[in-house]
Chains A and B, each alone.
Chain A
Amino acid sequence: MAQFLAMGGYAAFVWPAYGVAAVVLVALVAATLRGLREREATLKALEGMRPARRRSRRAEAPDLPPAQAKVSEG
């Protein structure tokens, strides 16, 4: 086991390589899923408001979740 971890003396290079790949790829999926869920929620909220109701111009969308502001990323 110790031999495996030591990677022939190159542990300091091999393990960070695998680590970086794991971090980047997992983070990418996580951010994607998070963005997707936020947007799905926003869409649902927006569609839920459609049953026609007279709204005043200035009331944009008062009951939408605050996650709003970040929909453009992810």
Chain B
Amino acid sequence: MTTALMHRYANPARFLRIATVVLPWAAVAAGLLTAAGLYLSLFASPPDYQQGDTVRIMYIHVPAAWMSMFIYTSMAVAAAVGLVWKHPLADLYAKAAAPIGAGFTAVCLITGSLWGAPMWGTWWVWDARLTSVLILFFLYLGYMALVNAFDDPERGVKAGNVLLLVGIVNVPIIKFSVDWWNTLHQPASVVRMGGPTIDGSMLVPLLVMALAFKAYYIATVLLRIKSEIIQRKIQTLRLTQGDSGAVESGA
């Protein structure tokens, strides 16, 4: 019993040690990459021959979209690991990542509308791409609501894991929506057969912003996992303290 408890806390302790080392680097990288990315996106890149300066919205919209899909996929992987291997950190990861994923998806949707209004002539259409990304947003929100709906956090997390795995089909749908169906949203410009169809002067700001968002994500999710670990400790302490007066070191 004590070995199981120890095993439970050994991993988080090791994680915290790693996190303490990685966190400052990720934060600094995020800051520098964001500064460089903003400079490139707003100053040191040309307008598009067709879309003019609205193309600068792409430097926010596309990296946000990439992050929204990446984060959800990583959460689904964590859910699988949690269900199959029962690794304690896996569940914490998904809980920590969810709000960040939801945030990026919201940014993707809103910046998409701001881009579509002047270029397409509409703020929204129910084509396959936009609809599936909206579904992704609802999956994030649904996950967060589901996990918090249970009194027993373990059951909440398990229910959430199932939702994550069911919703994973949506990610390839998002990616291939513009190929499988005729949509208003244009086809892929970067990740496609035959290479990117973006001029180098625009590809660079895009990739720098994508890296900036990645670094930001790493820093933020590490902070959130740390927060979850502490919350678990609090819950454990409360439980053991509630039972008796004398409490041994349980962490």
Query: Are B223 and A46 neighbours in the complex by a CB distance under 8 Å?
Result: no
Q: Of the candidates A4, A17, A21, which one forms a contact with B115 in the assembled complex, judged by CB atoms under 8 Å apart? A: A17
Q: Of the candidates A7, A8, A24, A54, which one forms a contact with B106 in the assembled complex, judged by CB atoms under 8 Å apart? A: A24
Q: Which residues of A contact B224 (CB under 8 A)?
A: 32, 36
CA distance A63 to B220 in the complex (A): 31
* A7-B53, A46-B234 known; A25+B103 contact, CB < 8 A: yes
CA distance A69 to B121 in the complex (A): 47
Which A22-55 residues have C-beta < 8 A from chain B?
24-25, 28-29, 32-33, 35-36, 39-40, 42-43, 46-47, 49-50, 52-55
Q: How many residues of B contact A (CB 8 A)?
A: 44
Interface of B is mostly: helix
Query: Are B103 and A28 neighbours in the complex by a CB distance under 8 Å?
Result: yes
Q: Which of A7, A25, A33, A52 has the most CB of B within 10 A?
A: A25
Q: Which of A21, A49, A52 has the most CB of B within 10 A?
A: A21
Query: Are A18 and B227 neighbours in the complex by a CB distance under 8 Å?
Result: no
CA distance A21 to B251 in the complex (A): 38
Q: Does B142 contact A (CB under 8 A)?
A: no
Q: Which residues of A contact B42 (CB under 8 A)?
A: 4, 18
Q: Spot the interface stretch: B7-15, B56-64, B133-141, B184-192.
A: B56-64
Q: Does B2 contact A (CB under 8 A)?
A: no
Which B197-251 residues have C-beta < 8 A from chain A?
216, 219-220, 223-224, 226-227, 230-231, 233-234, 237-238, 241-242, 245-247, 249, 251
* A39-B230, A74-B227 known; A8+B245 contact, CB < 8 A: no
Give the interface size bracket for A toward B: 35 or more
Q: Which residues of B contact A16 (CB under 8 A)?
A: 114
CA distance A25 to B247 in the complex (A): 40
7 nearest interchain CB pairs?
A52-B246, A8-B53, A7-B53, A17-B111, A8-B52, A39-B230, A36-B227
Query: Are B107 and A24 neighbours in the complex by a CB distance under 8 Å?
Result: yes
Q: Which residues of A contact B226 (CB under 8 A)?
A: 36
Query: Are B54 and A36 neighbours in the complex by a CB distance under 8 Å?
Result: no
Q: Which of B100, B220, B224 has the most CB of A within 10 A?
A: B224
Q: Which residues of A contact B53 (CB under 8 A)?
A: 7-10, 14
Residue of A with least CB distance to B106? A24
Query: Are B238 and A36 neighbours in the complex by a CB distance under 8 Å?
Result: no
Q: Does B99 contact A (CB under 8 A)?
A: yes
Chain A: minimal CB distance from B177 (Å) = 22
Which B158-212 residues have C-beta < 8 A from chain A?
none
Beyond known contacts A10-B118, A13-B115: 14 more, CB 8 A cutoff = A7-B54, A8-B52, A10-B52, A13-B57, A18-B38, A18-B42, A25-B103, A28-B99, A28-B103, A29-B216, A36-B223, A39-B230, A43-B230, A54-B245
